[in-house]
Amino acid sequence: MLSIVIPAYNEGETINIAADTISEILEKANVDYEIIFADDGSRDNTWDNICKRAARENSRIRGVRFSRNFGKEAAIFAGLEAAAKGGDESGENGCDCAVVIDCDLQHPPELILKMYELWKKGYEVVEARKSSRGRESPLYKLFAKTFYRLMKSSSGINLDGASDYKLLDRKVIDSLNELPERLTFFRALSAWVGYKTAVVEFEVQPRVHGTTKWSFSKLFKFAVSNITGFTNFPMHMMTAMGIIFMIFAVVLGIQTLVNFFSGYSVAGFSTVILLLLIIGSLLMLGLGIIGYYLSKIYEEIKFRPRYIVNESTNKATKAKKTKSTKGE
């Protein structure tokens, strides 16, 4: 069975359109499927639309609802866990593979069939990459390219053009669900686990309704969180800057000693103040980076769940918790 995992936050207007569009495509192709909506604590009628459609119109549609907004990453993993279990705790009725797709249909759903065919040929991860980024501002495109370059140079994982639009084999889903970490980055982790991978390209489509929920400030926080959560690049950057300034200090020290023994007065009060300000700023920046990493460690070692499920279209409603390695 093919599971379609759709994270949704305040997508009440697009729930029915996404469900109808994807269902029609898969039913015409005679694919055994289910659609799982993960409601990330929406404040509109998203959950009502999921429940009504799941209960009255299409028995293949299921849903889970968070107790509050935990973020898209948590919603993706909640959907994958629900897909693997197949509506019960035994997991016997779980999916054979799953596709993660956005609710706004900017990921073309027609591509699901091509991804599914590649999976049947033996590929365990089918990754949809953006051939173009659609209608985005130059600043946003520059920010995205910079982020992906940093991730590639620091982690060795190429995320250029990557998206959350992926098909995952059941083995890959199980591997991801077994990861104990709470601060997750789905795009990078789905590449990190490995497995036989195929790539297909797509063009980003316009949203069917509304506007994106991602502001520039949210994207910036998302990028910083994922860079620090998946790589140690910022710490290496501070080390490199420290080495550069050490070389600069040695050169300046030699120049000062040469001037002193040559009988020239050592002038440059403004230079001393400027150097103190630069060094002080670098020290504070370094302490801030170390503090940020410590805060990430603090969040991880508290062993809180990635998310809490408040409601479900299944008979049993439970709070889902990530597996802990504490005490092992």
pLDDT band at 104; cut points 50, 70, 90: confident
pLDDT tens digits, one per residue of 130-163? 776 556 666 666 666 777 676 666 666 666 777 7
Top mean pLDDT of 21-30, 81-90, 292-301 is at 21-30
Q: Is 117 in contact with 133 (CB distance < 8 Å)?
A: no
Tokens 């509050």 found at: 68
Q: Are strands 125-132 and 166-169 parallel, antiparallel or unpaired?
A: antiparallel
Residues 6+ apart with CB under 8 A from 240: none
Question: How far is 69 from 184, CA to CA, in rounded Å?
Answer: 15
pLDDT of res. 318: 41
pLDDT of res. 297: 78
Give the distance from CA 249 to its chain's centroid. 41
Residue 19 pLDDT > 80: yes
More confident call, 155 vs 1: 1
pLDDT of res. 207: 61
Residues 6+ apart with CB under 8 A from 308: 66, 67, 68, 70, 319, 320
Question: How far is 83 from 36, CA to CA, in rounded Å?
Answer: 7
- Neighbour count for residue 268 (Cβ, 10 Å): 13
Residues 6+ apart with CB under 8 A from 224: 292
pLDDT tens digits, one per residue of 260-315? 667 665 566 666 776 777 777 777 777 777 877 787 777 777 777 888 888 777 64
What are the helix (H) ranges across the chain?
15-28, 46-52, 72-85, 111-120, 138-155, 170-178, 186-192, 216-230, 233-261, 269-301
pLDDT band at 324; cut points 50, 70, 90: very low
More confident call, 149 vs 29: 29
Query: pLDDT exceeding 70 applies to what percent of the chain?
Result: 69
pLDDT band at 12; cut points 50, 70, 90: confident
Query: pLDDT exceeding 90 applies to what percent of the chain?
Result: 0
Q: Is 99 in contact with 166 (CB distance < 8 Å)?
A: yes
Sign of CA dihedral 67, 70, 75, 77: negative
Report the length, in residues, of the chain. Answer: 328
Residue 214 pLDDT > 60: no
Question: How far is 49 from 45, CA to CA, in rounded Å?
Answer: 6
pTM: 0.68
Tokens 């091509």 found at: 114
Residue 109 pLDDT > 50: yes
Question: Rounded to 5 degrees, what angle do the CA atoms 126, 132, 136 make?
Answer: 125
pLDDT of res. 155: 62
